Structure 1
Amino acid sequence: MEKITGLLKIRVKRGIDLVVRDILTSDPYVVISMADQKCQTRVVKNNCNPEWNDELTLSITGPSVPINLAVYDKDTLTADDKMGDAKIDVQPYLDVIKKRLENLPTPTIIARIQPSGDNCLAEESSIVWKDGKIYQDMVLGLRNVKRGKVEIQLEWVHVADSARRR
């Protein structure tokens, strides 16, 4: 069994201009998966601009395992329809976490990541030190679909830190 290096909290904030998969709208939810871990948000009924603000957590054992995000439309009588997907590139974020930064003025922008062919960013993303924690806000453009974006926020929890707080 691999050693867990930390926990990655992923706050799935909202969907933006998601595609319609039912007659007039969709009932979207997000699934985040990594290796054998899978978690999902709640379903937001009849909304192509849903507000989830759901917090999902993954156990991280290494930086090279890809994290995938997929949006689905919940259907009652048929299989759920896919509304797009994206890869969450956490490598720049994990590189900053390894630096063990402390005592910075709050808020401080530590790094800026530009959209590229290597990530699914729809706009510039900043890694920020705020109130003793490091966050990264991302707007991901969905692939394999005409349009749609999902806004998320990453937050790292050191395993030693979480054990100490109990």
Structure 2
Amino acid sequence: MEDLVGLLRIRVKRGMNLVSRDSQSSDPFVVVTMGSQEVYDKDTFTSHDKMGDAEIDIRPFLEIQAMGLQDLPDGTEVKRVKPSTDNCLAQESRIAFSNGKIVQDMVLKLRNVESGEVEIQIEWISVP
């Protein structure tokens, strides 16, 4: 896996049953932290806006990506990752071949909050 050079694209598809922290409306946001890097939307937020957190384990995804699978039929499921104490998956997650790429769809259960789930998709983008 050390030879992988590229970008990890994370698409936030939707949030479900998110906690409302403001009295009139709520503007949820996502912060992605990887090592010391943080990426988030351009909103301003404060510590009282905390709407939960979740961790993902990208190792299964990177292991499949490193296999160099190509020319699989579109929609081919390569692996399933089950929810466990090591991840925040709310349900099984599929790693599949889609439109010429390996992608993983996940529904993450938010921690440290009353309720909420976030649906995301990760995809590897190779950098030549």
TM-score, length of structure 2 as denominator length: 0.90
Q: Report the alpha carbon displacement of residue 36 of structure 1 after superposing the two structures with TM.
A: 2.4
Alpha carbons of structure 1 residues 42 and 141: separation in structure 2 relative to 1, 3 Å: farther
Q: Partner of 1:115 in structure 2?
A: 83
Q: Which residue of 1 aligns with 2:17?
A: 17
Q: Is the 8 A contact 2:104 2:122 kept in 1?
A: yes
The number of aligned residues is 127
Structure 2 distance, partners of 1:79, 1:116, is: 29
1:164 is matched with: none
Q: Which residue number in structure 1 is paired with residue 32 of structure 2? A: 32
How many angstroms does 1:24 deviate by?
A: 4.7
Tell me which of 95, 102, 122 is aligned to 1:154.
122
Structure 1: gaps spanning 5 or more residues: 44-73, 161-166
The residue that corresponds to 1:54 in the other structure is: none
What SS does structure 1 have at the residue aligned with 2:30? strand
Structure 1 runs (4+) greater than 6 angstroms displaced: none
Instruction: Report what 1:49 is aligned to.
Output: none
Q: 2:5 is matched with which residue?
A: 5
For residue 81 of structure 1, report the CA deviation from its aligned partner: 1.3
| Structure 2 gap segments, 5+ residues each | none
Counterpart among 48, 55, 60 of residue 87 in structure 1: 55
Sequence identity percentage: 52
What's the CA shift for 1:138? 0.5
Which residue of structure 2 lines up, in the alignment, with residue 63 of structure 1?
none
Q: Which has the higher strand share?
A: 1
Q: Provide the residue aligned with 1:41 in structure 2.
A: 41
After superposition, residues 40-119 of structure 1 pair within 5 angstroms as 40-41=40-41, 79-119=47-87
Distance (Å, rounded) in 2 between the aligned partners of 1:39 and 1:28: 15
CA deviations on 1:42-79 (whole Å, 9 max, x unpaired) are 55xxxxxxxxxxxxxxxxxxxxxxxxxxxxxx65xx65
Aligned 8 A contact 1:5 1:159 in 2: yes
Deviates more, 1:115-124 or 1:4-13: 4-13
- Contact 2:29/2:40 (<8 A) preserved: yes
CA contact 1:29–1:42 (8 Å) conserved in 2: no
